[in-house]
Structure 1
Amino acid sequence: MNELLSGMPSSQNSIVQAAAAVVGTGPAGIAAALCLACIGAEVALIGPAPAKPQTAPGDTRTAALLTSSVDLLKRLGVWEGVAAEAAPLEAIRIIDDSKSLLRAPEIEFAAKELGLDAFGYNIANTALVAALYEKAATTVKAVFAANVEHITIGADHADLRCSGGAGAWACLVVGADGRRSVCRAAASIEASEWRYDQGAIATSFSHTLPHRNISTELHREAGSVTTVPLPDPLASSLIWVGSAAEIEHLMQADEASFATALGQRLGGILGGIGTTGARASFPVAGLSAKSLVGKRTALVGEAAHILPPIGAQGLNLGLRDAAALADCVADAQLRGADPGGDATLSAYAKARELDVMSRTVGVDLLNRSLLTGFMPLQAARGLVLHGLNALPPLRRLVMRVGLTPPTALPSLMRGAG
């Protein structure tokens, strides 16, 4: 490592030498920095400091973390601090709320069928990010609360500069900086993007019937409406996906009108609707980087892939990126190899290819199947759900596929105490 970084400037000029520089302070980026630090790599984390939960009402999203993601947070020493703010997901209920003549039956996937207490836990994004960032402040070599303005990638290192000249020299750049990734651009990695004629609202609401730790997805032609349990048994988070016009109309509605519309949409499954929280909207879109790696660069999270908000796949996929990259860098360290070299990057790309591809294609097809009026496809979807209802072994198989990737879990996700 010292040989790889020889000749680099010292940190006295606010330039840090590190094995890896992680760009991006969303949950996947901070987790990537912690994973790399966990395997002994020197890491610089660069990105704006996240707003504290009590001062960040604009972020209304929650994260449904699968069991493997929770295990990762335990290994990183983060879970204990946020567990009290998380609600277990003991079952997932799917309701066909479409106007199709071939409506599918309601189906419920229960964690206990797999011998689990829960599929995972739901937690506010702000609480999760705050806990990760607090851990990073005491774990990684350096944290720069600033945006990267320029990245120069050389033969044996990358030079990352923030405003004022501070930054890092690193063997490996980890791009976790989202849709408009500076890291992806610097490494000349192309990405394909697509838009659906949909928008989504993220918010929370109170209700008169307990959620019983069940997440409910109501599928209809314009999109899905998903309620996810919060720690309060009479409160849930909400992702409402609909046509762009519908979402715009709902965002303009006052609280009472929105609550009325939500109650009508949910059809009483959680009883009466009480108060609703702050609403935030975002377009439903997809992104897929044509490669997860470039010169001295590895992409993780939304810099590599963006999925529609269906099935809790997005962040869990990004956390698996972070943990898998740590495995590849750990192997490079054991061999005395370059953590940003071609062999390390090729190993990472190979490790993530099948998981990323299968989730990206699967979620896209599911979302498009909800939008189509093509009768044979509607019939096929209905038949599948009928089969899952009638055949418990098949239902358990589908649950296992949803919970675990098609390849082995990274080391840091293989259980925790």
Structure 2
Amino acid sequence: MSMNYVGSISLMDKGDYDRGDSPAQAILDKNARSVAQRIADETREELEKVLERVEHIYDSYENSMELIFQTQNSANMEYVNDINELEEIMKDQIKKRKYQQGLTIFIVGYENVCGQRLKLLQHVNEFFMENSKSYEEEDWFPKTPDLDLDDVAEQVDESLNKAEDLANRLGEINQEMVNWLSNYAINKASSKALAFVDAKRSLSFMNEGKKKLEKALEKAKEDLASLSEKLHNLQLDLEDKESKYQDLLKMLENKNLETQKYKTAAEIAKKNVTELEIENAVMKEDLDKRKDFMKDLQRKLNRAENELSQNDMLKDIQANQISDQYQESQSMEALTAKKKIQELQEVVDKNKSKTEEVKREIEKFHETQIVAITQAHAAEIDAMKNEFEEELKKAKGTNVNSSLNMTVNKM
């Protein structure tokens, strides 16, 4: 993109008349054109540099986005902040089964790096914006002139019209001077023939012509002085307008730079919006997955609650049945127990009489047994006494023999 200010600068049209200041006008026009051309060249160079940087950034951005799209088409990609989040995903059995169904690429730390780059670019942009504002707010920087182009055009047109009127007036005065001189020469030639006749009359006529000529010359001098003054004012006005024009060019250049800054900020904001939209889409997808998971859990919970309520109802029914059966069994058992107690009481009474009889019989048998046992015991004791006495006798006899043998042996 190039900016051309040269074609818009024209102090005078080529079809204007020659007022005698064409060399000065040509110099002014040449200076204005050279200044405008220099500004245009500098602006073009700066814009070319900026465009080269923008194209480089755009190419790198396109390459990265193309790589991302290629990888997205070939496999599913997931962005995680750090290793801990990746470990949490791997520990989650539901997500692990989902990712095991296809090829999934996990990129760790990509969002953090992009966030750092974005913060760095934002800091650089803020640095340039603050420095540009600081330079613009300096006192030495030329202030923007408060001009109305329509009023300036009207003033220039009025000045040119006045200069045109003055030039026409000078032409008229010049023509009058030429006519008067020609008439004066003709009158002078004719007066030589009539010199002797009309000497007094020609002298008075010459004096009158001289006076008219002096008046005309004085008037011409006054007109020339006023015209030179007006031309000087016009020159000053043109110089003032030229300075204002330079200020307008500087203001336009500053506006272009500011527009470029706003454009850069808008592109960065647009990039941020796209990244936020992508992040929002990812978060929305994750939220939908979580909502589906919560719905499944809610359905399972409702099913479990229904089953639990049914189990509670069954338990209550069974408990009521058991309590009813227990009460019935308690009443039946009470009746049967009474009957059994009565029967047992009767049996006990019968057995009581029987036991008394058996007891008496046992006592008798016990007495007879005791008598028999005492008799048998006494007999056994007598037998043992007899055996003991016999053995004692035998022992005494053996002892006597042994003592005799011992005495014999000693002897």
Tell me which protein shows more strand as a share of its residues: 1
Q: Given the two structures, how large is their TM-score scaled by the length of structure 2? A: 0.20
